[in-house]
Amino acid sequence: MPFRGTTLDREFLRQAVAEKRLNDGQLNEIMGAQSGLSDRGIHRAIPIIAHELGLLRRQVVEQLIRHVLRRVRPTCIGDYALLRQLGRGGMGVVYEAVHLRMKRTVAIKLLIRRDMSEKFIARFKREGYACARLRHENLVAAFDVGYVDGWHYFSMEYVDGPTISRTVKGNGPFSEVEGVRITRQVAEALACAHDNGIIHRDVKPGNIMITSGGDAKLCDLGLARIRNVDESELYEPGTTLGSRRYMSPEQARGLASVDARSDIYSLGLTLFLMLTGVPPFSDVPKADVMSEHLRGLLEWPADINQSISERACKIIWRMSAKEPDRRPQSSHELVKELRELEQALMQEAELVPGDFTRDTSPGLVDLASDGFEFEEGSETSNSDIIADTEHGE
């Protein structure tokens, strides 16, 4: 049968055969499926079809694409030349790429799912559109949302640094003033989102990147709630949204009407990790973490790291209070409190802006789990609290 795919499709199949991932029968099945879809006006990339048919797990698909990228340069999707894989999330894989006409380095997120239903495609597009609505120096900027060569994609700002998770894992806790400064920057980014009717719903260390200059960049709006947008067609009833280790009690209860204070709770637990070097509720079995958000008591941060001041401990506890009414009532209020604490800490340490140095070498960024075994994917069910990534998705 005539081959209807792109150069990337062809090289992907060659790599899969060379590595004995696919046999001749499976090869014909994939090409036949692509041809049948094309006849119906549906263009689907070969790697996605192989995953959809259950012939290749997503991790294998990603590995094969990485091997193709090393062997064939440039490997293009539309106007984008893929360079290397940066990370993965519950819905897609992120690559460093260059826009060939604009000569601009970007991060491009490609949708790879076994279930390529309209529901998932709509959610994926919504993430790109949500990013595009926002402009803030501490938010990863979106450039383009589209569909080309059988791939749904959106391109965004490339950040030359790791996430908070990887930074803590590699270098230990942040200093108090540095942790507070970065948290204040994220709170300012959230204020921008909240002012535009967007609740992030997945604030966590794996979704905050640190640039080479030491500044925070909040990313991944894949679970964002957008004001006046009906979500009934996007999520199954009873779905709990968020990452188990950092979701708010409201999210753990499956409430649909979470507000800005939910993001504040998650940011409080992120600051807890930054200053202690230990994830919240780290001594609790994974299966019991959800109940800790509802009824458990977060450890006093200074009991883990004695260098943390009482003021920082109190603001962490306020941000992560079980009842939303006991937290800062808006991201703007939180920014004000964090800025006051940051300025006091800088005066005590005789620091000036720019006195922050940390190894921020770019590394593989996992947008779902970020390499921490205790930081799961971003969508779970009340009846089955297992991350997408644990299913090979």
Residue 16 Cα distances to 19, 48, 129, 227, 279, angstroms = 5, 13, 34, 44, 39
Express each pLDDT in 117-146 by its tens digit.
Answer: 787 788 778 767 777 778 899 998 888 888
74 prior amide bond cis, ω within 30:
yes
H/E/C letters for each residue in 203-227? CCHHHEEECCCCCEEECCCCCCEEC
For 308-311, the CB contacts below 8 A with 24+ separation are 308/176, 308/275, 308/276, 309/176, 309/345, 311/341, 311/344
Evaluate whether residue 284 is within a structural domain: yes
Q: What is the CA radius of gyration of the chain?
A: 22
**Domain final residue pick, 15, 46, 72:** 72
Domain around 14: 1-72
Give the amino acid at 300: W
- Contact between 58 and 392 under an 8 Å Cβ cutoff? The reply is yes
Examine the domain organization and report whether 184 and 63 are in the same domain.
no
Residue 103 Cα distances to 98, 160, 203, 306, 308, angstroms = 6, 17, 32, 49, 45
Per-residue model confidence (pLDDT) at position 366? 41
**Domain final residue pick, 72, 102, 130:** 72
Residue 268 Cα distances to 141, 187, 309, angstroms = 24, 10, 15
Give the amino acid at 1: M
Examine the domain organization and report whether 175 and 320 are in the same domain.
yes
Evaluate whether residue 116 is within a structural domain: no
**Domain final residue pick, 49, 72, 95:** 72
Examine the domain organization and report whether 63 and 184 are in the same domain.
no
Strands 151-157 and 142-148: antiparallel
Per-residue model confidence (pLDDT) at position 202? 87
Examine the domain organization and report whether 61 and 195 are in the same domain.
no
| CATH number of residue 171's parent domain | 1.10.510.10
Evaluate whether residue 150 is within a structural domain: no
Examine the domain organization and report whether 330 and 192 are in the same domain.
yes
Evaluate whether residue 77 is within a structural domain: no
Examine the domain organization and report whether 177 and 62 are in the same domain.
no
DSSP 372: -
Per-residue model confidence (pLDDT) at position 368? 39
Examine the domain organization and report whether 67 and 170 are in the same domain.
no
Examine the domain organization and report whether 203 and 322 are in the same domain.
yes
Examine the domain organization and report whether 170 and 34 are in the same domain.
no
Per residue in 356-367, is it b (16+ CB within 10 Å) or e — as a string? bebebebeebbb
Question: How far apart are alpha carbons 335 and 271 in whole angstroms?
Answer: 13
Contacts (Cβ under 8 Å, ≥6 apart) of 32: 1
Catalytic option among 144, 195, 202, 359: 202
Evaluate whether residue 129 is within a structural domain: no
DSSP 298: P
Evaluate whether residue 266 is within a structural domain: yes
202: annotated active-site residue: yes
Examine the domain organization and report whether 59 and 180 are in the same domain.
no
Residue ranges, the chain, pLDDT below 70: 1-2, 90, 127, 221-242, 256, 352-393
**Structural domain count, the chain:** 2
Statement: the pTM of the whole predicted model exceeds 0.85? no
Evaluate whether residue 156 is within a structural domain: no
Evaluate whether residue 135 is within a structural domain: no
